[in-house]
Amino acid sequence: MRVLVTGGAGFIGSHVVAALTAAGHESVVLDALLPSAHPGATAPEVPGARLVVGDVRDREAVAGALAGVDAVCHQAAMVGLGKDFADAPLYVGCNDLGTAVLLAEMAAAGVRDLVLAGSMVVYGEGRYDCPRHGTVRPGPRAEAGLRAGSFEPHCPDCGAELVPGLVSEDAPADPRNVYAATKLAQEHLAAAWARATGGRAVSLRYHNVYGPGMPRDTPYAGVASFFRSALARGEAPRVYEDGRQRRDFVHVRDVAAADVVALEAVRERRPASFTAYNTGSGEPHTIGEMATALAAAHGGPEPVVTGEYRLGDVRHVTADSRRLREELGWRPGVGFAEGMAEFARAGLRGAGAAQVEGAAPQPVGAEAP
Ligand SMILES: NC(=O)c1ccc[n+]([C@@H]2O[C@H](COP(=O)([O-])OP(=O)(O)OC[C@H]3O[C@@H](n4cnc5c(N)ncnc54)[C@H](O)[C@@H]3O)[C@@H](O)[C@H]2O)c1
Ligand SMILES: [Zn+2]
């Protein structure tokens, strides 16, 4: 099949293209090569695909890239938390207006199959159980508590300590920042498109993706890249809070494989359907464990736990990815120790540009993807 991979020059998209090629499919890439994702870089190579430099918000560029395409794998998005709220229009433009334009052009071109790069950020805080009240939904953590070093969310009814659990796809959405809101809106748009056109849509809600080709530490990057960039500068990874925040770190090659199985399966779905799948390794780890594993594989320096925090970060969120395993037969293949050892030595995208610009070390947060 021929697949349009939007954002195919990016971190995950380029691995999706490689996996599609390996599975005998053809890819066309539409990517605007955003400076935030490709700092100071010359046009990247996307081996195995035709690269169309263009924006998903541009109807003509999208229509041209869709010619002869059987399915779309929509990876293009602004990622990360951004600098501040002033970035909101850019996030909403790229992620939601861009998705709307893409879906409208798919409708016009009769392309009915979509796999969307979703995200665990749609859930906000993960699942928690109170010993007395069962499953509860703690709100955002108050700054006073964070300042005092009290990082765990408490039961909203009785204040008891909560036990974190695995979030399933049926958990209610609770986006906590602009990026999260745009990722949720992408899903709603995809579901509305499917209903209106008889299309079939799958959203893979990726957990924290890491691996070779991850962008360097910009305000738009994830925590693994901050740690990896610090180590490359010979500095200790700075771990926020107490380092016990739980996440699910899933390797980028496993995510790319999930995209391929989803693209192959989506056309068998019933028309006018939308299904979300958590996409995680199923092996939760703490942010501190990740910093330690990366530092050890890199040969030091040891991470420092700073007690700093960022408002809007969630404490724990870990996925239950059973649905993806059971319905699509996907299995993650890269274990935590093995993946982190490889990542500690792998190149980061745009790493050279950091030195040229003399970029200051960025704060290390624990943002969900
Ligand atoms: N990295 C993670 O941990 C993670 C986790 C959950 C979800 N996701 C999602 O996965 C997808 C890929 O993320 P990534 O980590 O590879 O990021 P990335 O920044 O490396 O790649 C995104 C690509 O999209 C392109 N792009 C952005 N806006 C565009 C636009 N308007 N038109 C055309 N191209 C545009 C960028 O130039 C870039 O090449 C995104 O949708 C992101 O929300 C990523
Ligand atoms: Zn309680």
Q: Can you list the domains of the chain with their CATH numbers?
A: 2-357 (3.40.50.720)
Query: Residue 344: its pLDDT value, please?
Result: 92
Distance 163 CA to ligand 2 centre (A): 11
CA angle at 251 for the pair 151 and 285, rounded to the nearest 5°: 30
Q: Which residues pair with 277 in a beta bridge?
A: 204
Q: Which residues are found with C-beta within 5 Å of the ion, ligand 2?
A: 130, 132-133, 155, 157-158, 160
Distances (CA, A) of 341 to 105, 123, 274, 303: 42, 29, 36, 15
Residue 202: pLDDT band with limits 50, 70, 90 = very high
Q: Which ligand is nearest to the CA of 138?
A: 2
Mean pLDDT, to the nearest integer, of 16-45?
90
Nearest atom in ligand 1 to the alpha carbon of residue 44 is 39
Q: Is the pLDDT of residue 294 over 60?
A: yes
Task: Look at residue 360 in the predicted model and tell me its pLDDT.
Answer: 32
Contacts for 113 with CB less than 8 Å, ≥ 6 apart: 70, 71, 72, 199, 200, 263, 266, 267
pLDDT-derived band at 41 (thresholds 50, 70, 90) equals: low
Both structure tokens of 324: 């993806």
What tokens appear for 298 in the block?
Answer: 């890199």
Task: Considering only residues 197 and 366, tell me which one the structure prediction assigns the higher pLDDT.
Answer: 197
Residue list, ligand 1 pocket, CB within 6 Å:
6-7, 9-13, 31-34, 37-38, 55-57, 75-79, 94, 98, 117, 119, 183, 206, 208-209, 215, 222, 369
Q: Which ligand is nearest to the CA of 162?
A: 2
Q: What pLDDT was estimated at residue 353?
A: 35
Q: Whose CA is nearest to atom 32 of ligand 1?
A: 55
Ligand nearest to the CA of 156: 2
- Is residue 81 very low, low, confident or very high in pLDDT (cuts 50, 70, 90)? confident
Q: Answer yes or no: 309 catalytic.
A: no
pLDDT tops 60 at residue 364: no
> What band does 36 get if pLDDT is binned at 50, 70 and 90?
confident
Cα-Cα-Cα-Cα dihedral sign, residues 96, 97, 100, 106? negative
Distances (CA, A) of 267 to 63, 100, 199, 229: 21, 21, 9, 40
Of the chain, the percentage scoring pLDDT greater than 70 comes to 92
Predicted local confidence at residue 222, as pLDDT: 79
Q: Would residue 225 be called left, alpha or beta, if left means φ above 0 and alpha means ψ between -120 and 50 degrees?
A: alpha
Catalytic pick among 91, 123, 128, 179: 179
Say if residue 361's pLDDT is above 90.
no
Return all residues near 134 (Cβ < 8 A) that are at least 6 apart. Answer: none
Measured in Å, residue 160 CA sits from the centre of ligand 2 at: 5
User: Ligand 1, atom 4: nearest CA belongs to which residue?
Assistant: 369
Distance 131 CA to ligand 2 centre (A): 6
For residue 118, pLDDT over 60 is answered with yes
32 compared with 216, residue with greater pLDDT: 32
Q: Cα–Cα distance between 330 and 127 in angstroms, integer?
A: 23
pLDDT beyond 90 at 1: yes
Indicate left, alpha or beta for 20 from its phi (over 0: left) and psi (-120 to 50: alpha).
Answer: alpha
